[in-house]
Chains A and B, each alone.
Chain A
Amino acid sequence: MMQALQLPALAGAIPCQLQPSSANASTALLARRLYEARIIPHDAPARAAHEPLQTAKKHLMRWIEQQVAGMQCLTLHVRLVMGKADEEFTGRPAGQGMVTALWSSACEPFTVGPALDSLEALLPGLGQTVLTAIDLTGPMLVPAFTAWDAMGVAQEYFWQGEPNEEVALDEMCGDDEAEREAMRDGMVTRKMVDEAFPSWSTTWPKRRKKVSLRALATVAGSARSTKARRVADLVLALRRLRLKDECRPQGDGWFIGFGPVLMWRDNDLTTRIFDDFCNDACQSETVDWCGEHRFDLLDESSVKTWMALMKPRFKGIRLLDNLIFELSAGDWRRIPKGFR
C-alpha cells in the first residue's frame, strides 16, 4: 500500500505564512520607530529585516540586555503587547499603533536577615536604611515582599485589620479558652511575626531610624567590610535615581507582582504569609506585573519617550538586583567590623 503513495506538491498559491494585514502594518510601524530611535541600527541589512516583528524583537532584546547587563539574581521579563492583544489586555480600545510595554519579575525567595542584622550592628540605622531603600524604591522597579509587607498582610487578612489575632479569635471561638489556644496553634500569630523579624523591619518604612546620606557615604568609602561598602554604594546609587511614580501597573485587582520575597531566615514565616496572600488574591482579579507604559506608535516620539522612561528604571532594577544579591550571598556573620 505504501508504495502507491506519492508525495504531492503544494500549489504555488499556498502561503508559508498567514499574516493579517493590520498586524503587518503595526509591527512595521514599531520597526520604523525603533529604526528612528536607532535601536535598529541604520546599517542593518534590509534583507534581514523583511519580517518586522522578528527584527523588532531581536534588536529590542539586545537593547534591554545592554541596559540591565550585570544583573545577578533576579529574573526580568519585558513584554510589548500590541494591537488587538493590547485591546484585550487593557480592555481599552486600541488603534493600529497602541502598545502597552510591561515588565515583571519571577517570584524568588532570598534570605537577607543576617546581612541586615550585621549592617545594623555595624552602624545603628544602617540595616534599616538599606531595607527602607528596598521598601520605598522597589515599587517603582521590582517590588520586593519584605517583613513590612508580611506584617501588613497578617494584619489585613489574618487578624481582621487588628494588630494581633485576638479579635479574630473572639469572633471564631468566643471565650472558650481551650478552643482559642487550639485555634491559635494553627494560625499566623503576632508572636510568630515578632519572633521572625526585628521590630524595626515591620515598622512603617518612613518611621524607621535611618542614617544620613553622609553616613552612608562614609560606610561606602571606609567600612572595613567590602560587602558593607558595596551595599552602601548600591543604596546611594538607588537614592540618586529620582524616579517618578508614573509607570505603576494599571490593571484592576490585587497586586501580586512581587519579584524577590525577602526572608529574614531561611524558610521563615515570610513565604507562608506570601503564599497565603497570593492564594487569596488569586480568587479574584490580580495584577502580576511590576510596571507599565502605554503609548501610540503613531506618535513619532513614542518609542523614544518609552526608552527615556525605561533607561533609569532598568538601571534601578540592576542596582536593586545587585543589592539583593549582595545581601543574600556570602557569610555576613563574619564581616570585618568598624571602619578603616
Chain B
Amino acid sequence: MKVSFDIIAGKEAPLKLSQAILLYEGDRGVCFASAHGIDASGKQPLILEGRAFTSEAAVRLALELSNNAMRGGFVPPELLYLDGNAMAWWVPPARRHIAFRSEKLGAPERGEVVPHPGLVFRAEHGRRWSVWAVKGSERPHEGTPLYQAPYFNVYADGGICTGNVHLPDGTTAERIKAWNDAFFGSFFTHPNVQGKLVAYKGGTFKFWTDMLDGRHREFPEHVLVPSQRTLGQMLGLRDQA
C-alpha cells in the first residue's frame, strides 16, 4: 500500500536549528569557517565537532538561501542565458546519433548518425524542458529566429515529451552535457505536433526515413518550420510578436 500524508503549514512551520557555521577572522577579515552539527537532545543545544566549510559549500548554502537565484563560475560558450532556475544553451549543427522506435520508419528500432541543425535548449529546474532549431552555425543572439525542432516527441511549443527519460538534476552550466546526452540518448517514438513538424514532401516519416537512409549529407535547413518567435521572445525578454 502506497499512502502518504502531510500537513503543510507554510512559512509558519517550525524551523529546526540544524547547523552552526563558525567564522574565524584575522587581520584581513574572515579567513576560516567551519560547519558544525547541533545536538539538540539535551537541555541545551550543543555545537558538535565540525568540518572545514569549503567555498563550494558556501556557494551551495548561498544558492539555497536565495532560492537558486545566484550562479557563479566559468561560462561555457554554448551557454546563452541564465536566470534563476532557468538556463538556455546552444548546440551547434553537427552529425550525431539518433535512434527511433517507430515501425513507420521501416524497423521496430532504428538508429543512425545523421546531420542535425543548430539547436537551442531551455531547461527549468524541476519544470519544463524545451528545444527549438536555429539556422546556420553562428552562435544565436536575442534576435535569432527560432524554428520548430524537427524531432519526434517534441511539442509544437518546443516542450519535450520526456516519457521515461531520466532528467538530469540541476540547471547549472556544467550540467549542459548531461541534458544533451539525455535528449540525444533517448528513443524518439512518435510526432507530438498536430500540425507540420517539417516542410518536407511526403511528410515527417518520409523526412526521417530519408535522413536515416543518408539522403542528406547536411541537414536541409529549408525543411524547418518557423515558430514565429525569436530567442529573446522565447526567453520572455521582449513582448511576443
Contacts and interface: CB of A to CB of B under 8 A. Distances in A.
Interface stretch (A53-61, A117-125, A204-212, A297-305): A53-61
A27 B205 CA distance: 59
A187 B193 CA distance: 7
A53 B206 CA distance: 61
Contacts of B191: 186-187
A49 interface: no
Contacts of B206: 182
Contacts of A10: 20, 38, 44-47
Nearest to A105: B2
B194 interface: yes
Nearest to B13: A23
The 10 closest A-B pairs by CB, nearest first: A182-B203, A85-B10, A23-B12, A186-B191, A75-B2, A16-B40, A84-B10, A18-B15, A61-B5, A19-B14
Contacts of A45: none
Contacts of B1: 65, 68-72
Contacts of B163: 275
18 contacts: A5-B34, A7-B36, A9-B44, A16-B45, A17-B16, A61-B5, A64-B3, A64-B5, A72-B1, A78-B4, A79-B8, A83-B9, A83-B12, A89-B8, A158-B194, A179-B203, A276-B155, A283-B157
Contact of B44 (A12, A18, A53, A80): A12
A188 to B, nearest CB: 7
Interface size class on chain A is: 35 or more
Interface of A: 1, 5, 7-10, 12, 14-20, 22-23, 26-27, 30, 51, 53, 56-57, 60-61, 64-65, 68-72, 74-86, 88-89, 106, 157-158, 168, 172, 178-179, 181-183, 185-188, 272, 275-276, 279-280, 282-283
B9 A71 contact: no
Nearest to B14: A19
Interface in B187-208: 190-197, 200-206
Contacts, number: 165
B169 interface: no
Given A18-B17, A186-B203, 4 more contacts: A19-B14, A27-B7, A64-B5, A187-B194
Contacts of A158: 194
A340 B128 CA distance: 55
B48 to A, nearest CB: 8
Contacts of B9: 23, 26-27, 53, 82-85
Interface in B2-58: 2-17, 20, 22, 24, 32, 34, 36, 38, 40, 44-50
B12 A26 contact: yes
